Structure 1
Amino acid sequence: MQTSDQSTLKRSLGLTSALSIVVGTIIGSGIFFKQGSVLDSAGSSTMAIIAWIFGGIITLTAGLTIAEIGAQMPDTGGLYVYIENIYGRILGFLSGWMQIIVYGPAIIASVAGFMSILMVNFFGLSNFWRIPLAVITIVAIGLMNLLENKVGAAFSVITTIGKMLPIAVIIIVGLFWGHHNALGQTISGIHQSTGNLGVAVLATLFGYDGWILIASLGGEIKRPQKLLPLAIIWGIIIVLVIYTLITIAVFRFLPASQIHQLGENTVAYIANTVFGEIGGKLLSAGIIISMMGTINGKILTFPRIVYAMARRQDIPFSRPLSYLTPKGKSPVVATTFIIILATIMMIFFDPDHLSDLCVFTVYCFYTLAFFGIFILRRRNHFRPFSTPLYPWIPLISIFGGLFVIVSEILNDPQGVVLFLGIVIVGLPIFYLVKRYYRQR
């Protein structure tokens, strides 16, 4: 695959920026809003904690596997580039199509939808304002990302540092001022299927998702063969530790039955209980900023996939979508395109349902990429980074990916058919676009 795009995009992101993008993109709404749903699926606090740890381990093995692949292909486009180089143009296109039409806009809409819940409570507004506030936030962050990539990267660093404050407060308060045993709490009277560890782990993976997006900026990272693997691996490890501590802290502070009743409002309730109305609002503001950082990381990265596909003339309107601003080298049209699709999904989908379908769709292609490490090992002898404990780490990541796919198919077959249908629609579009450009 050609990589001429690297002559136009700026390689200006160092390890601090890359690591901040990984951590900032992962830590968003999931850990704050998924505690209730993970508990409901797991059936007990012990199994819920195990679910968060399992989700982190699956994500870490995935990150270690992709780190080896990404170090060999440090190009703009990430997963789209990997799949094409390993499996060919058609599967490569479908992986890119999935990210720019389904996964990217849906994940942005989902995080913004969760964020708007806090924003409505923060400003004391009615639920009518949830979607308008989420749309305004997406548009504002999108406008910022129309500038040079350093601006979006700097915002990621600032928000990543800022989000550590509410996280630290929740962990300290729960661990040292909580009076409940984090292990062994059970719940009853739930209408959902309890004791289903598979569904619980699936819910946690939304909280861990986003780590691979740094690979889409491969063409803008300094010394990507070294820094890309470091950013992915250490970013996931940091998040795994933080998520485990937050989950234990939440169960220390509140009984499982109350967490079940509060659902998405669990963390907001803890904030108001500990710090009162003003302190609770300040903590909620920190969490809102955290989610803004996550949205920023996703709006920073997904347009790069659009740009990479447009450079290859794989999608309609490739010429405008591949446009970069002369000075800042920012893909402004591609960014606008992602914002519009995210807004549409925000209006028509529930954020919680959307989050699970996002994870399922992207893991279909993650799993293909995980298999690809065995293919690349046969092709290439030189590897800037080698996955440790090969082949066991890649095999765990593959089984983790298959586990996600099967769990979601069994849990929500109708949603799976809908999202897979949107992905498959990309095939005739691919052939029509290629035919159009051949005739010109």
Structure 2
Amino acid sequence: MEKPQTTTEELNRSLGLWSALSIVIGTIIGSGIFFKQASVLDSAGSSSLALLAWVIGGVITLTSGLTVAEIGAQMPYTGGLYVYIENIYGRLLGFLSGWMQAIVYGPAIIAAVAGFMSILMTELFGLSAAWRVPLAVVTILAIGGMNLLDNRVGAGFAILTTAGKLIPIAAIIVFGLFFGHEDAIGQTVSQVQQSSGNFGVAVLATLFGYDGWILIANLGGEMKNPQKLLPKAIIIGITTVLVIYTLITFGVFRFLPADKIHQLGEGATGYLATAAFGKVGGRLLSIGIIISMMGTINGKIMTFPRIVYAMAKRRDLPFSRYLAYVTPKAKEPVVAIGFILALATVMMCFFDPDHLSDLCVFTVYCFYTLAFFGIFILRRRNKGKERPFSTPLYPWIPLISIAGGLFVLVSEVFNDPWGVVLFVGITILGLPVLWVVKEMDKRRQM
């Protein structure tokens, strides 16, 4: 695939390494590690297996990042996975990859994180559950409004929130490791429901916590030197998060017994914060976690509209002329941002965030796995050509990422077949949309 066609206004190529790293780390570390501890533990059945699930999820994510880094360094354009799939497999699968991210995955993941954040906000301010959706909507609209400005504003917010989220993370790790006395490692959960899942589902839940690592690729056309910066940001960012997540989980299990975590569910982290640091300290820690989630939402709002923009530039979507609009001064795809925010708002009103998060991971891993296979196709296609970045330990790292991807897909099919049918159906619905758009284009040209 040739470099996407340009129009009058283009995106700014202004992001450096620290901005890219902040977006990777800030986008990954959000609600998952704070709200998924109980669901991972329930599915795994014991704290030892839960900790192992977080580690395996991190290893799958790291091998995935190493594999995609080689692909991304060869295609440093705005659009990320959408561009990769089209280049490797052709226009049809490329379109479905972009459609899935623009219509299903992007809005759903923003809605899920905002939903988790609103749970903590209502607890912090003593509000009823009825306030959760309004708070979540107001938050994403405010962050979306900020992203209508120059991309350096969003990148600056990513740096600030990434630095801010390290405070609650460090507090939980230090307190759990040095002041926790439960030593829950090895404990089993005695009240787990039979329907809560299995170890595969536990790993799947952790992957929501690691989700977001590939989104920096959507900004490839806005990096100063994407061939070098993209692989570096992905690898350093994922490795950092893997270490942090393992330490947080270990700290939580040092402080709370397994049955207590199961009983508290999504409120386990909030309970730990209050128990560890008192009412005031707990509130401050909760504020830090909320800031962390805002940073994650910011990263996703920065990146997903770029997929819509890239697709609109190729006239793959209805109303492409408007969706590809970039403001003359700020160089921001403002209509694409509004489109993603509107879909996310709708999903927040109709879906539970926990269920939504699992289905998001399944949907995107369908195309991740295709991309992982793609590294072998590109190596054969570009044999003898120099690569900006080569995946280490080839072919073993890509093979591990493929195995991890297939593991995710099979686990979710068995765990929630009807949810899988729904999300796959929405993805396939993109085919008639593409046909209609292309037919309209043909008529205009006649």
Q: Which TM-score band (shorter chain)?
A: over 0.9
- Give 1:30's aligned residue: 32
Deviation of the 1:197 alpha carbon? 1.2
> Pairwise mapping of residues 299-318 of structure 1 onto structure 2 (< 5 A)?
299-318=301-320
Decide whether the 8 Å contact of 2:200 with 2:411 is kept in 1.
yes
> Pairwise mapping of residues 21-420 of structure 1 onto structure 2 (< 5 A)?
21-193=23-195, 196-380=198-382, 381-420=385-424
1: CA distance between counterparts of 2:184 and 2:42? 15
Deviation of the 1:246 alpha carbon? 0.2
Q: Which runs of 5+ in 1 are unaligned?
A: none
Deviation of the 1:180 alpha carbon? 1.9
* Amino acid corresponding to residue 4 of structure 2 in structure 1: T
* Amino acid corresponding to residue 433 of structure 1 in structure 2: V
* TM value normalised by structure 1: 0.99
* Amino acid corresponding to residue 99 of structure 1 in structure 2: Q
Decide whether the 8 Å contact of 2:4 with 2:313 is kept in 1.
no
Q: Secondary structure at the match of 1:403?
A: helix
Decide whether the 8 Å contact of 1:5 with 1:76 is kept in 2.
no
Identity of aligned residues (%): 75
* Amino acid corresponding to residue 384 of structure 1 in structure 2: P
- Give 2:14's aligned residue: 12
Decide whether the 8 Å contact of 2:412 with 2:420 is kept in 1.
yes
2: CA distance between counterparts of 1:189 and 1:303? 43
Deviation of the 1:278 alpha carbon? 1.1
Is 1:437 matched up with 2:441?
A: yes
* TM value normalised by structure 2: 0.97
**Deviations along 1:180-206, whole A, 9 cap, x unmatched?**
224211111221357821110000000
* Amino acid corresponding to residue 188 of structure 2 in structure 1: T
**Deviations along 1:68-111, whole A, 9 cap, x unmatched?**
00000000000000000000000000000000000000000000
Decide whether the 8 Å contact of 1:5 with 1:308 is kept in 2.
no
Pair 1:264–1:158, CA change in 2 (3 A): same
2: CA distance between counterparts of 1:186 and 1:180? 13
2: CA distance between counterparts of 1:234 and 1:170? 22
Q: How many residues align?
A: 440
1: CA distance between counterparts of 2:121 and 2:242? 26
* Amino acid corresponding to residue 360 of structure 2 in structure 1: C
Deviation of the 1:9 alpha carbon? 1.1
**Deviations along 1:247-275, whole A, 9 cap, x unmatched?**
00000000001000001001100111111
Q: Secondary structure at the match of 2:208?
A: helix
2: CA distance between counterparts of 1:3 and 1:100? 18
1: CA distance between counterparts of 2:194 and 2:393? 38
**Deviations along 1:207-257, whole A, 9 cap, x unmatched?**
000000000000001110000000000100000000000000000000001
Decide whether the 8 Å contact of 2:4 with 2:314 is kept in 1.
no
Decide whether the 8 Å contact of 1:67 with 1:229 is kept in 2.
yes
Deviation of the 1:3 alpha carbon? 2.7
1: CA distance between counterparts of 2:258 and 2:197? 14
* Amino acid corresponding to residue 3 of structure 1 in structure 2: P
Q: Secondary structure at the match of 1:11?
A: coil
Deviation of the 1:373 alpha carbon? 0.2
Q: Secondary structure at the match of 2:327?
A: coil
Decide whether the 8 Å contact of 1:43 with 1:194 is kept in 2.
no
Q: RMSD of the TM alignment (CA)? A: 1.0
Decide whether the 8 Å contact of 1:5 with 1:219 is kept in 2.
no
- Give 1:3's aligned residue: 4
Q: Which runs of 5+ in 2 are unaligned?
A: none
1: CA distance between counterparts of 2:302 and 2:347? 18
* Amino acid corresponding to residue 441 of structure 2 in structure 1: Y
Q: Secondary structure at the match of 2:22?
A: helix
1: CA distance between counterparts of 2:13 and 2:80? 15
